[in-house]
Amino acid sequence: MINKMYQPFTKEEFYQVLAPSGELLDSIEEIITEPLMKKMYENMMLVRAFDRKAIHLQRQGRLGTYAPFEGQEAAQVGSALALSPDDWMFPTYRDHAAAIVHGQDLYRVLLYWNAHLDGSICPDGKRLIPPTVPIATQMLHAVGTAWASKLRGENNISIAYFGDGATSEGDFHEALNFAGVYKTPTIFFCQNNGYAISVPFKKQSASKTIAQRAIAYDIPGVRVDGNDIFAVWLTVKEAIERALRGEGPTLIEAVTFRYGAHTTADDPKKYRDQEHLSSHWRDNYDPITRLQKFLYRKGLWNEEKEEKLVQQIEEKINMHVQKAESYPKADPLDMFNHVYATQPWHIQEQQNELRQALQKDVKSK
């Protein structure tokens, strides 16, 4: 389909199908159907609206610290839409767009950011691991799961999401090494946002790209325009086909940019020209605007459909917000559960200390 994806792209190059102008650079209509194109757009619109709503809820004190993703919709939605229901997804704390597309309920995402245990429940019939906060650890889990699927003769893959900062962790290299040795059906999907919180990629690594690191493990590596949902979908789809043929893993580097802060507890203006960078990417490379231009040009979309979709999305999100807020508040003592089979003395001490503090707080009210 797109064998050129495995060429060693330079820092300035990547695989691209849909130009920022909304024009096609390659013929893909026979591969990506019109219904799928509209589904891509509708999903990106949904997750962007959800992301903005979550930030508003956090600022209003109705949600805990939250990790936004606006600007990375094409990378997450495009990759998730390429999966089958039987595929395993290993997201980070920022990949709720991918999780939603793979079947996670919006209200459970909100529960997760309010520290509720029910926010980590996997949807019925899906294989979705709870968001991983420790950097890069989920990559090893994805390899192990894919290896187990291979040994069982199952027809599915595992996809591990991670950012550019994770590629500086030892787990990244261990995961690629094991996947390469055992040819596991694993897709390593890196969203290269250019910053590991405040550290730019050039200060993390001397390598020009992340994709080129695949060479060391003798697995395919591809650099794709992460704001081009067509290119992302095609790339992941081909990686899945390779994996299911028994040809092993693929490392995908999706070049993108997150408009907002690392989390709602971060101030990006302290370490980069936030206003210039965000406006530059939003004005020139926005993934939703790019697809919208294409759909309008093809006659597949219009203002009437846009207004209807926006209204439907708003109603859906509000319904899920109400459902999430109808849940009882999370119990802080839950953090001590499901960690140790037998709690060590110092953990018991901390748990008792917190319990006493909570009881004291209740009495004071």
Residues annotated as part of the active site: 258, 262, 271
61 token code pair: 């004190």
Q: How far apart are CA 262 and CA 279, in angstroms?
A: 17
How many whole angstroms separate alpha carbon 266 and alpha carbon 127?
31
What DSSP assignment string belongs to 67-133?
Answer: ---TT-HHHHHHHHHTS-TTSEEE-BTT-HHHHHHTT--HHHHHHHHTT-GGGGPPPTT-EEPPPB-
Residues in the chain: 365
C-alpha closest to that of 76 among 104, 57, 54, 99: 99
Bridge partners, 336 (sequence order)? none
98 phi/psi in degrees, rounded to 5? -65, -40
How far is residue 318's CA from residue 314's CA, in Å, rounded to a whole number? 6
Instruction: Round to whole Å and give the CA distance between 233 and 87.
Output: 15
Q: Are 351 and 333 in contact (CB under 8 A)?
A: yes
